[in-house]
Amino acid sequence: MKKRRLAGFLAVVLMFVMIAVQLPAEVFAADPTLKATKKTLYVGGDNYKLTFKNLASGATVTYKSSNTKIAKVTKKGVVKPVAAGSATITATIKQAKKTYTSKIAITVKTPFIKITNPITSLEAGKTYKLEASTGGLKQVEVIWKSSNTKVAKVNSKTRVLTAVAEGTAKISVKDNISGKSNTFTLTVIKAAPTATPTPTPEPVEYGENDDFGYEISKKGITITDVYDSEATSLTIPSKIDGKSVIGLGDGVFSGMSELKKVSLPSTLTTIGEGAFSYCESLTSVTIPASVTEVGANTFEYCESLSSITIPKSIKRISEGMFVECTSLKTVKLSSGVEVIGEAAFEGCVALSTLTLSDTLTTIEPYAFECCEALKTVKFPASMRSIGEEAFLDCIALKTVTFEKGLKEIQDYAFNGCLAIASITLPDTLTYLGAGAFEYCEALKTVTIPASVTEIGGGAFDGCSESLKLKIKKNSVGYEYAVENEIPYNTY
């Protein structure tokens, strides 16, 4: 019985072997597929030839791109990058009377050169070696530069950065063949001092009268305290006990919610940090022309302050000087003011009239963020830099006028300025930051000069669907328009 069963089993096996010998090889072959499922290419870079696994010699293949504006594919399966973005290439394979499909995800990127180890600050006298990488560039001719060699120098051959003196400089790397570049801002800080004997501090005496507490030094008197914290008005004397009143101490009047008016003497030279912060009833104040220094956050949250004139003796509007002064409608900066500090007028939602000084060079980050009533800004010819988010969400800002001289508009500087319809950038501008005019929903025309050497990502994202750029052919602006599929005219 066992022999009969074994014989029957062998007969069945032999029958399947005979059938298999007669079947074509394709019946047992794996399905044909593309060898790769994803590939990154670069605009202007090499094409890519599609290859397969398990493709029979007699098979036929057709190809299709999901987005020919991003990547095209020839009848022979050669993928050609067109513009930055993503596309899917589908291969349809007919083999052994069957149809198969196989797909590959194509990502097309813009060729780049990137500084891989940027540094934000460096002590004067110190050195630092820079590194850069590239993507999609066939040949490169790399040049390193500093925008201000008095502040920092960089050796283009050795890539060694040397901090020279206090200040800021833009450090850039550029491929001269493709024109691609990358930049970072370096702040050179004061070198750590060598150990020296600690000088004997100037002796300070303390005094008081019926109204104020104060410090007495050789230079004069600095008021540090006020005894009537509920006063509605104050007159600061020019002299106390025969000595000139030269300063107001940090936070000296802070939180005096009933104070409406204050008179300052012509002997005053410094006003300390937060001196009038949270004086919610203070409606006006005249800063004497003798004042040369005003500390940070001096008038923050003075919610009733409606106007201010900054004298020419003040060179810098300090950080947060007028933060959340929600009633401030008019600001006039006299000739002499050179810098508006970080967040100086942030949240001044009623500010509608702004007169900038003809000596102004720098507006630091967030300076006018959320100034929702501001409609017009005219920048003077002295302007060189507009900081990050400087005019973010100034939703009523409609007219912006630039003069020749401006060098850079930093990232998101005018982001969310919903009313701006037209912009003409000056032919001295070299850098336009990422998102600089993002979400400017009314923006329809922008003139970009050939002087611009770098435009950050998304500079015009979320603008009007009718947006059209006016650009020089073969310029960085032209390249940006083509790569981002923004309509343009050349001039």
Q: How far apart are CA 113 and CA 133, in angstroms?
A: 6
Per-residue pLDDT in tens (0 to 9) along the chain, 491 residues: 444 455 555 554 445 444 444 445 444 568 999 999 888 888 888 899 999 999 998 899 999 999 999 999 999 999 999 988 889 999 999 998 999 999 999 988 888 888 888 888 999 999 999 988 888 887 788 889 898 889 999 988 889 999 999 999 999 888 888 778 888 899 999 887 766 666 666 667 888 888 999 999 989 999 999 988 899 999 999 999 899 999 999 999 998 999 999 999 999 999 999 999 999 999 988 899 999 999 999 999 999 998 887 888 999 999 999 999 999 999 989 899 999 999 999 999 999 999 999 999 999 999 999 999 999 999 999 999 999 999 999 999 999 999 999 999 999 999 999 999 999 999 999 999 989 999 999 999 999 999 999 998 889 999 999 999 999 988 999 999 998 999 999 98
What does each C-alpha distance from 360 to 315, 341, 377, 386, 394 come to in angstroms? 9, 11, 13, 11, 20
Which residues, in sequence order, are CB contacts of 41 under 8 Å at separation 6+? Answer: 47, 48, 71, 79, 81, 106, 107, 108, 109, 136
d(Cα 167, Cα 140) in Å, to the nearest integer? 31
Enter the tokens of residue 164: 């020279």
What's the token pair of residue 46?
Answer: 């090499």
- Cβ proximity of 479 and 472 under 8 Å: no
In sequence order, the 6+-apart residues with CB closer than 8 A to the CB of 96 are: 24, 26, 27, 29, 56
Please give the model's pTM, rounded to 2 decimal places: 0.61
> String of b and e for 207-226 (b: at least 16 CB within 10 Å)?
eeeebbebbbeeebbbbbbb
Question: DSSP class of residue 12?
Answer: H
